[in-house]
Each structure stands twice: as C-alpha cells, then as structure tokens.
Amino acid sequence: MSLSRQQLLDQLAQLERRYSQLEQQVVQLAGQPDNKAYQQTAKELSDLRDLVLTFRTYQRVERDALEAESIVHAQTDQEMRQMANEEATALRQQQKALVTQLEGFWREQHQEPERPLIVEIRAGTGGLEASLFVGDLYRMYTKFAAKRGLVVEGMQLQPTEAGGFKEISFAVKGPGAWSALQYERGVHRVQRVPQTEAQGRIHTSTVTVAVLPEPEDVELPAIPAKDLQIDVYRSSGPGGQSVNTTDSAVRIRHIPTGLMVTCQDERSQMRNKDKAMRVLRARLLDQLKHSQQQRIASDRRRQVGTGERSEKIRTYNFPDRRVTDHRVGLTLHKLDLVMEGALEELHAALQAQGEGQGAAPQAPAG
C-alpha cells in the first residue's frame, strides 16, 4: 500500500509506541532468556530497531527545526536571525533525508518475499453461479500465469454436484509470482444471465480470492502432532461417485485454531497429506501476520477484519462485456480478453495508483 508522508508518520508513531512496550517487556522477561515469550519479544524488538531509532532521530530533528524557525520569527537581531535560518534550513534538509530513509525501511518491512504462493478461490453469495465462477477465475489465473512463465500446481478442489466448485486452491511458483497476483485479493463480483434462467434475468454473485505466500520454516515453526487431527477417507466426486477405491483423501484440522483443510486430488494419501499441510501452513501464516498487525495498528485491524473483505474489488459484467476495477475506477469493454488472462492493463492501473503494494495478504471472507 502506498502511503502519504503523514500516513507514514502516523504508522511510525504507532510502531514507536509498540517498540517502547517491547522494551519494557524484554526487561521483565530478561531473567528467563530461554523462555519462548522472551525470544519472540526480543526478535520483534530487533526487527523494529533500525526503523524506530531512525524515526526518533526524525522527531528530534523536527523539534530542533521548529525551535530554530521560532527564533527566526522572534529575533530582531539580523545576525542571529540569519544563523537561526541557516540552522533551520540544514535541519529541514536532514529531515528530508531521514524521510527517504524511513520510506526505504518501511518498504523493506512490508515487501512480500519472492516465494511460491497459494491462491484460494471460494464461492461467496450466489449459489450455483458463484460456484461456476470459481472455475472461471481459476481458468483465468492459470492462463495469466502461463503467459508470465509461472508454474501452477493444483492443491485442493471441492466440486459441486452442478459442475462448479465450492473452493479451488492452487500453488503458483516462479519469479515475480507475488507482483503478478497481489492485486487479485478480495471480493470479485460477477453479473450474468445463468443458463438456467429462462427469462434472461441477470444474476449477481460473488467469489472471494486470497493470495497467501507459502511460509518458510523460520517464519512458522513445525506444528506439533498433538495440534493436528488427521482423518483419511475415500475420495468422492460430484454426486458422491467414487474417484478411487482407496482411502487416499485427507482432512487435516488444526485444533488450536479450528482451521480445516481437505485434499483428495491425488491418488496417493501421502501426496494429499503433503498438499493439505502446505495449504494449512499458508493459512496459519496469514493468521499470524494479521495478529502481528493488530498489535501495532488498531485502525488497520478494523479494515482487515471487516471492510476490506466485504468490499468488491472488481465486477465482471458479461452482458456488456465489461470489467470494472473499483479500486481505481477503471472500466474495460474487453471482458472476453480478461477472462483469457489479459490482466496486464488492470494491474498497470493499480500499480500506477499504488493499490495493493505491500499490503498483507488477507484471507477470504467466509
């Protein structure tokens, strides 16, 4: 997310307060350095140190600059006024350099690493049409990824009896995966006439999309076996038909959070378990990131928790061949091309306006 200078300073002020709290906590926990809470607190303190100390220097320079400027206005002695004016000018120049440095630190902390992603598409409101559009978006993303030289690996499919999907999860690998797909997170709205609609009425449905970086071991430690409930069962397709005759489907429930993932795409139970664990770890990392953000930005927490998830980011209107991205107010009358993976024009407009840059990945609604 691109921030104005004032927004950046507001965010830094919150981080500075968080840093002061961490300093106190480290002192309180110092007598037990092997304690997990101490290690986590010390790491968060270390991660924030350069950013916060630079911000404190900025605040000190701001105070000194204001004091020098007040002398300029209050002094009647010409020589003293000139000296104060020169000092104020030098301090403001130092301030500009510090702002540039702070912006660099902020980008480093909020830039997503280049690593494999897991994309989750889920049917929202709209019943059958929503489930059908899940498959349409999956096809759009696979075509877009292919044009970018990215590799798509299917992870989880939950088909419906009517031929749609409740949910599709897939991994995307390759250089630039995050920059290619970061703008797709949110609620997608589709407006079209269902094939079953005899009177030609347009139905409106929604689908949610989440883009989650796959966690690294250093970010998300191994999950204890006692925290997992793993069930195996026989895979089944739409209408309950058997996909294969072995108990290869896997359902994994993370007991502390209640998160549940199922996978039945592979004939091998081990491969299904591996894919399900990858999806589960990505969701747990997403939750962890949200909890970290909640501690340092209460206003952002309200956005992530309610508004952003419920607001549509894009509308696909099939009767008019129109696609509208509501974040930048861009409408293209080339829906057929967009559904074939031509997302470049939409992404260019979002990038120019700074939408989506560095924002934390969010989980889909529902």
73-131 pLDDT, tens digit each: 888 888 888 898 999 999 999 999 998 888 888 876 766 556 678 899 999 988 889 99
pLDDT for position 45:
87
Based on its alpha-carbon atoms, the radius of gyration of the chain, rounded to whole angstroms, reads 26
User: Confidence class of residue 298 from pLDDT cuts 50, 70 and 90?
Assistant: very low
pLDDT for position 227:
86
pLDDT for position 239:
46
At 322, phi and psi to the nearest 5? -120, 140
User: Confidence class of residue 240 from pLDDT cuts 50, 70 and 90?
Assistant: very low
Mean pLDDT computed over 267-274: 82
pLDDT for position 278:
83
pLDDT for position 235:
65
> 3-class SS at 363?
coil
Least confidently predicted of 62-66, 164-168, 289-293? 289-293
With a cut of 80, say whether residue 322 has pLDDT above it: yes
Percent of the chain with pLDDT over 90: 30
pLDDT for position 361:
37
pLDDT for position 288:
73
pLDDT for position 365:
34
Mean pLDDT computed over 248-272: 84
Q: Are 220 and 281 in contact (CB under 8 A)?
A: yes
User: Confidence class of residue 310 from pLDDT cuts 50, 70 and 90?
Assistant: low
pLDDT for position 33:
61
User: Confidence class of residue 43 from pLDDT cuts 50, 70 and 90?
Assistant: confident
With a cut of 50, say whether residue 254 has pLDDT above it: yes
- The overall average pLDDT reported for the chain is 80
pLDDT for position 355:
56
Q: Strand ranges (DSSP E) for 7-150? A: 117-123
Of 336 and 365, the structure prediction assigns the larger pLDDT to: 336
pLDDT for position 110:
65
Tens of pLDDT, residue by residue over 156-198, are 888 988 889 999 999 998 888 887 898 899 999 999 998 767 6
Tens of pLDDT, residue by residue over 192-233, are 998 767 677 899 999 999 988 776 544 566 788 888 888 887
Most confident of 86-90, 232-236, 238-242: 86-90
Residues near 348 by beta carbon (within 8 Å), at least 6 away in sequence: none
**What is the secondary structure of 150-174 as a DSSP string?**
-EEEEEEEEE-TTS-EEEEEEEEES
Pick from 230, 301, 292: nearest CA to 261: 230
Which position has the token pair 């930048």? 328
CA–chain centroid gap for 82, Å, is 51
Percent of the chain with pLDDT over 70: 80
Tens of pLDDT, residue by residue over 136-159, are 999 999 999 999 899 998 888 889
pLDDT for position 301:
33
At 293, phi and psi to the nearest 5? -65, -35
With a cut of 70, say whether residue 37 has pLDDT above it: yes
